[in-house]
């Protein structure tokens, strides 16, 4: 399959003014060199949403979202990456090229999409003529309007009702609508005598089907097989319809297990329900959910199987909840699923149950302590061991701190002792958190320019990328044994190779990589300061920025030279140096001496 060339994305971002893109959707007012407004992602009353024309980036401190114009459209308009690029390309009046593809791309994707669309039309027409299918839906309480909203249809009890509509079955086979018999080579319909539920992508295109049997088939529900278009672990039934139900951001998404649950909830006015497709909740599901809402509520049966499924969802959710993201867990009365319960108690009562769903922290603590005697010393000690693997998955932040404080209270340990026991076992993740905490403490102390030259150089470079063109001896910088030096060197080299690039192009180049996350944190750190506008404007409007930037590079270069000199000295003590190494040592010593005289 083809992909969008990275060079085109960089060129597109250089053509687009993010202030215009965001300003068409958010009321922005100038604040120094930035633009400021209310977050489109939260219901804040005081503006904490910034757009930087210099970086061509947006930063939202109330939701934690940030990125380029592409990221903004993905978050605000709830578009996929390709859709966002296509939207910006349309705005810029250019065509989106593809590379790495074959000449039969239409056969690979568009052909199967056409086949699926044709199948949906056929299934819907068949529903209108099938009395058995209509009666079944009526007995389930489904209205014609709801069936139309979701495009529900019917696959006749026939081996070729669909296949006869495809003289060339290639696309339908690729889409998982037909199968071929190995013995005879003949094709036949996958779905027979089933109520058909179209599964759509975020653009509303049918990418697969789910079918509910009307006969005695042991497979009560049958999904399309996985194809290049459809992956069970990456798609959710009803998500497109939920997003279409409201122009505003969805307050929450209710995750249920069945097609009829989603459909019947929508019929009762609860349009923000989605269903997993016969598989457990995955990290990809959660990423999809959090692109459309800040709160996911998982709905399970109240029996043992439901609790087990909830525990599996909890494990997937732990690394994903942070900042504005929230997960809750709702358990149904025995003998009910969402479909039957909403019909029995009504929409308002059902919404009340959703609002009363258990928080992730309460569910986590209940799960790990359910078989423990907390009245005994052994039980409380065991709780610490059981909590450790779960807490390791949680990101650092307020939620993790509050859960630790609650567990410390339950076990009657002080928080410091509880933290010490959590990190007592050899555990790289715990060590990383300890280092993170140390960094946080260091951040709380006022930093003077030059104290952390790598970070400061990156901050300045992201504001004025053209300074990279005058940076010299970059190969020497790379020898400095300083955290983050590799990122700084790569950033300088990127801007040297792309002289007209803004910071947003570097962010896009490093999208979803550790380097990208690192420079996002650096870009945000100054913006979070109360005196940001005044401090930054005075700095960027003067020559001080360049002076400070090159002073940082000089300091790092000296550190690299000292490190190399020490390495050569150690080598000399252990044996002889080559002539070239001796010359190098003498030159480094000369440079260090000259630097100390100047200093």
- For the chain, how many structural domains are there in total? 5
CA 92 from centroid of its chain's CA atoms:
26
Question: Is the pLDDT score of 277 beyond 90?
Answer: no
Here the CATH number for the domain that contains residue 251 is 3.40.1360.10
Considering only residues 592 and 267, tell me which one the structure prediction assigns the higher pLDDT. Answer: 267
Angle, alpha carbons 48-50-55 (nearest 5°): 155
Q: What is the pLDDT of residue 450?
A: 35
| Domain assignment present for 493 | yes
pLDDT band at 424 (very low <50, low <70, confident <90, very high): low
Q: Which residues contact 368 (CB under 8 A, 6 or more apart)?
A: 383, 386, 387, 390
90 φ, ψ (degrees, to nearest 5): -60, -40
pLDDT tens by residue, 338-360: 999 999 999 999 999 999 999 99
Beta strands 206-213 and 66-67, pairing class: unpaired
Tell me, yes or no, whether 123 and 161 share the same domain.
yes
Question: Is the pLDDT score of 172 beyond 80?
Answer: yes
Question: Is the pLDDT score of 303 beyond 70?
Answer: yes
Tell me, yes or no, whether 80 and 113 share the same domain.
no
pLDDT band at 179 (very low <50, low <70, confident <90, very high): very high
Q: What is the pLDDT of residue 149?
A: 94
pLDDT band at 274 (very low <50, low <70, confident <90, very high): very high
| Domain assignment present for 424 | yes
CA 477 from centroid of its chain's CA atoms:
33
Tell me, yes or no, whether 136 and 217 share the same domain.
yes
Tell me, yes or no, whether 468 and 592 share the same domain.
yes
Alpha-helical runs (H) found in 282-330: 283-290, 304-317
Average pLDDT of span 328-340: 92
Q: How far apart are CA 584 and CA 475, in angstroms?
A: 15
Least confident of 276-280, 356-360, 413-417: 413-417
| Domain assignment present for 365 | no
Average pLDDT of span 95-105: 59
Alpha-helical runs (H) found in 68-110: 69-76, 81-92, 105
Tell me, yes or no, whether 386 and 302 share the same domain.
no
CB 298 within 8 A of CB 255: yes
Considering only residues 532 and 98, tell me which one the structure prediction assigns the higher pLDDT. Answer: 98
Q: What is the pLDDT of residue 321?
A: 87
Q: What is the pLDDT of residue 100?
A: 58
| Domain assignment present for 357 | no
Above pLDDT 90, what percent of the chain?
Answer: 30
Strand order, beta sheet including 29-31: 29-31, 34-37, 49-52, 57-60, 66-67
Tell me, yes or no, whether 467 and 513 share the same domain.
yes
pLDDT band at 595 (very low <50, low <70, confident <90, very high): low
What phi-psi label fits residue 176: left (phi over 0), alpha (psi between -120 and 50 degrees) or beta?
left
User: Bridge partners of 237?
Assistant: 275
The tokens for 112 are: 């199967």
Here the CATH number for the domain that contains residue 423 is 1.20.50
* Strand residue runs (E) in 7-164: 29-31, 34-37, 49-52, 57-60, 66-67, 153-155
Tell me, yes or no, whether 475 and 563 share the same domain.
yes
CB 145 within 8 A of CB 174: no
pLDDT band at 298 (very low <50, low <70, confident <90, very high): very high
pLDDT tens by residue, 105-130: 333 456 888 899 999 999 999 999 99
Question: Is the pLDDT score of 2 beyond 60?
Answer: no
Q: What is the pLDDT of residue 107?
A: 35
Q: What is the pLDDT of residue 525?
A: 65
Here the CATH number for the domain that contains residue 67 is 3.90.580.10
DSSP state letter for 233: G
Tell me, yes or no, whether 377 and 278 share the same domain.
no
| Domain assignment present for 98 | no
Considering only residues 208 and 394, tell me which one the structure prediction assigns the higher pLDDT. Answer: 208
SS (H, E, C) 436-447: HHHHHHHHHCCC
pLDDT tens by residue, 497-511: 777 777 888 887 787
Q: What is the pLDDT of residue 104?
A: 38
| Domain assignment present for 150 | yes
Q: What is the pLDDT of residue 504?
A: 83
Q: How far apart are CA 219 and CA 272, in angstroms?
A: 28
The tokens for 364 are: 């986590």
pLDDT band at 577 (very low <50, low <70, confident <90, very high): low
Tell me, yes or no, whether 161 and 119 share the same domain.
yes
Tell me, yes or no, whether 112 and 204 share the same domain.
yes
| Domain assignment present for 47 | yes
The tokens for 206 are: 């049918």
Tell me, yes or no, whether 51 and 184 share the same domain.
no
Considering only residues 473 and 317, tell me which one the structure prediction assigns the higher pLDDT. Answer: 317
Question: Is the pLDDT score of 275 beyond 80?
Answer: yes
| Domain assignment present for 416 | yes
Here the CATH number for the domain that contains residue 519 is 1.10.860.10
Q: Which domain holds residue 77?
A: 6-92
Q: Which residues contact 411 (CB under 8 A, 6 or more apart)?
A: 374, 380, 381, 383, 384, 418
Final residue in a domain of this structure, among 37, 62, 92 = 92
Tell me, yes or no, whether 581 and 561 share the same domain.
yes
533 φ, ψ (degrees, to nearest 5): -60, -45
Name the average pLDDT for the chain: 82
Here the CATH number for the domain that contains residue 176 is 3.90.980.10
Average pLDDT of span 412-438: 58
Final residue in a domain of this structure, among 92, 124, 150 = 92
């Amino acid at each position: 399959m083809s992909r969008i060339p990275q060079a085109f994305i960089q060129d597109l971002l250089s053509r687009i003014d993010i202030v215009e893109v965001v300003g068409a959707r958010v009321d922005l007012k100038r604040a120094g060199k930035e633009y400021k407004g209310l977050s489109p992602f939260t219901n804040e009353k005081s503006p904490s949403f910034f757009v930087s024309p210099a970086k061509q980036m947006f930063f939202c401190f109330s939701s934690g979202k940030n990125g380029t114009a592409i990221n903004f459209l993905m978050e605000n308009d709830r578009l996929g990456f390709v859709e966002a690029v296509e939207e910006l390309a349309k705005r810029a009046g250019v065509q989106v090229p593809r590379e790495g593809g074959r000449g039969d791309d239409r056969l690979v994707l568009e052909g199967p999409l056409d086949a699926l669309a044709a199948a949906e039309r056929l299934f819907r027409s068949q529903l209108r003529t099938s009395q058995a299918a209509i009666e079944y839906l009526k007995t389930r309480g489904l209205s014609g309007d709801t069936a139309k909203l979701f495009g529900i249809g019917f696959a006749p009890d026939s081996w070729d009702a669909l296949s006869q509509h495809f003289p060339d079955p290639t696309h339908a086979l690729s889409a998982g609508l037909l199968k071929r018999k190995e013995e005879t080579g003949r094709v036949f319909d996958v779905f027979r005598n089933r109520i058909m539920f179209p599964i759509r992508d975020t653009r509303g295109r049918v990418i697969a089907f789910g079918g509910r049997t009307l006969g005695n088939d042991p497979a009560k529900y049958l999904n399309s097989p996985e194809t290049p278009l459809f992956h069970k672990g990456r798609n959710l039934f009803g998500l497109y319809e939920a997003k279409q139900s409201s122009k505003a951001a969805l307050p929450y998404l209710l995750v249920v297990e069945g097609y009829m649950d989603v459909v019947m909830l929508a019929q009762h006015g609860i349009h923000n329900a989605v269903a997993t497709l016969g598989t457990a909740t995955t990290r990809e599901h959660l990423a999809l959910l959090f692109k459309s809402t800040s709160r996911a509520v998982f709905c399970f049966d109240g029996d043992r199987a439901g609790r087990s499924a909830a525990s599996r969802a909890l494990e997937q959710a732990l690394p994903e909840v942070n900042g504005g993201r929230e997960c809750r867990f709702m358990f149904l009365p025995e003998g009910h699923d969402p479909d039957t319960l909403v019909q029995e108690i009504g929409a308002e009562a059902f919404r009340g149950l959703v609002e009363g769903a258990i928080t992730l922290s309460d569910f986590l603590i209940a799960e790990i302590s359910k078989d423990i005697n907390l009245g005994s010393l052994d039980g409380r000690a065991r709780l610490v061991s059981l909590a450790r693997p779960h807490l390791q998955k949680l990101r650092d932040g307020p939620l993790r701190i509050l859960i630790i404080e609650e567990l410390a209270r339950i076990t009657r340990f002080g928080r410091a002792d509880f933290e010490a026991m959590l990190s007592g076992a050899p555990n790289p993740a715990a060590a990383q958190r300890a280092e993170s905490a140390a960094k946080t403490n260091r951040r709380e102390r006022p930093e003077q320019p030059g104290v952390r030259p790598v970070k400061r150089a990156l901050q300045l470079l992201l504001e004025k990328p053209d300074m990279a063109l005058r940076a010299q001896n970059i190969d020497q910088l790379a020898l400095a044994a300083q955290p983050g030096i590799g990122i700084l060197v790569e950033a300088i080299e990127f801007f040297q190779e792309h002289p007209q690039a803004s910071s947003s192009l570097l962010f896009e180049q490093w999208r979803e990589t550790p380097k990208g996350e690192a420079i996002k944190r650096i870009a945000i750190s100054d913006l979070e300061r109360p005196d940001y506008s005044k401090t930054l404007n005075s700095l960027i409007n003067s020559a001080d920025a360049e002076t400070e930037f090159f002073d940082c590079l000089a300091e790092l270069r000296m550190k690299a030279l000292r490190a190399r000199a020490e390495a050569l000295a150690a080598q000399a003590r252990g044996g002889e140096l080559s002539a070239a190494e001796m010359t190098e040592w003498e030159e480094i010593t000369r440079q260090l001496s000259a630097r100390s005289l100047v200093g």
